[in-house]
Amino acid sequence: MELENRTATPLNFIVLLALFAASGLVLWMRPEVAGLATFGFVLLGWIIGLCLHEFGHAATAAAFGDYSVKARGYLTLDPLVYINGPNSIVLPVLILVLGGIALPGAAVLTRPDLIRHRWQSSLISLAGPLMSLICALISYGAAQVAFAQAAPEVFAQALILLTFFNLMAFVLNLLPVPGFDGFGVITPLLPQPLRDMAERLERLPWISLLAVLAIFFFGFPLIHALMAVVAGTLGLDLSAVSPAFARFRFWS
């Protein structure tokens, strides 16, 4: 029965989508509450992106033979299923709200013993960041439509901010740092002795915590430079981020 419940229609994700749409409608129709509405709209959109990021990992693992992800409910897109300790949805949301850093956490537990090839393990790690990139491109495309159709500026700019956060998640997660997806991409491809060392390093929880703290306090110039390169390569104009971010932090 538990398995059937976990693989049922993802009602919580549908509710999340409905709240996201409702906050967008408020942002469109009530510009006088643009600060609070921008916060709700972007935060809910970010949580949706987190779910899709983790779903990317899970769906790729399932495609390569890891049946455990379905039993654990990872294919339902239910945000509650992805709460796996403080490093999952809870911590990324807090970091986004307090520091403006878009960092998905480790939430999907996979079974490496069920994956036949090392390159498949690398693709499983890569799938999450790629899903974040897809989310960024979708929100950017929606923003361009909104600008072209003369939608309220606060609404279009909020979509640009959501693009910015998803693009940051893509860039950050590809860093080859223990606990980040980029480390999971390269580790399976290393020679056996180096791979054993990397796996032992990744099991030290304080390593990823130190990396997050370093990014939080010192890493903004590097991250923004990397994002500028990626945005320029993809032809994304993120100049509307600043006013939207100011509204997102409506309390400051």
Q: What is the mean pLDDT of each run of 10 residues along the chain (252 residues)?
A: 48 94 95 92 94 95 94 89 70 79 78 93 96 97 94 95 95 86 90 83 70 71 89 95 93 81
Q: What distance in Å separates the CA atoms of residue 69 and residue 76, rounded to the nearest whole number?
A: 10
Q: What distance in Å separates the CA atoms of residue 53 and residue 104, rounded to the nearest whole number?
A: 8
Per-residue model confidence (pLDDT) at position 1: 34
Side-chain-side CA neighbours of residue 118 (13 Å): 9
Per-residue model confidence (pLDDT) at position 235: 95
Q: Give, to the nearest 10 degrees, the angle between helix 220-234 and helix 153-173.
A: 110
DSSP 13-76: HHHHHHHHHHHHHHHHH-GGGHHHHHHHHHHHHHHHHHHHHHHHHHHHHHHTT-THHHHTTGGG
Query: What are the backbone dihedrals phi and psi of residue 127, each rounded to the nearest 5 degrees, phi first?
Result: -60, -35
DSSP 190: S
Which sequence positions are flagged as catalytic? 54
Per-residue model confidence (pLDDT) at position 206: 66
Per-residue model confidence (pLDDT) at position 101: 79
Residue 216 has which token pair? 């939080």
Per-residue model confidence (pLDDT) at position 221: 81
Per-residue model confidence (pLDDT) at position 27: 95
Per-residue model confidence (pLDDT) at position 208: 67
DSSP 101-124: -----------GGG---HHHHHHH
pTM (2 d.p.): 0.89
Query: What are the backbone dihedrals phi and psi of residue 191, each rounded to the nearest 5 degrees, phi first?
Result: -60, 155
Please report, for the chain, how many H helices and E strands are present, in that order. Answer: 12, 0
- What's at 252, amino acid-wise? S
Per-residue model confidence (pLDDT) at position 2: 41
Residue reference for tokens 């299923």: 81
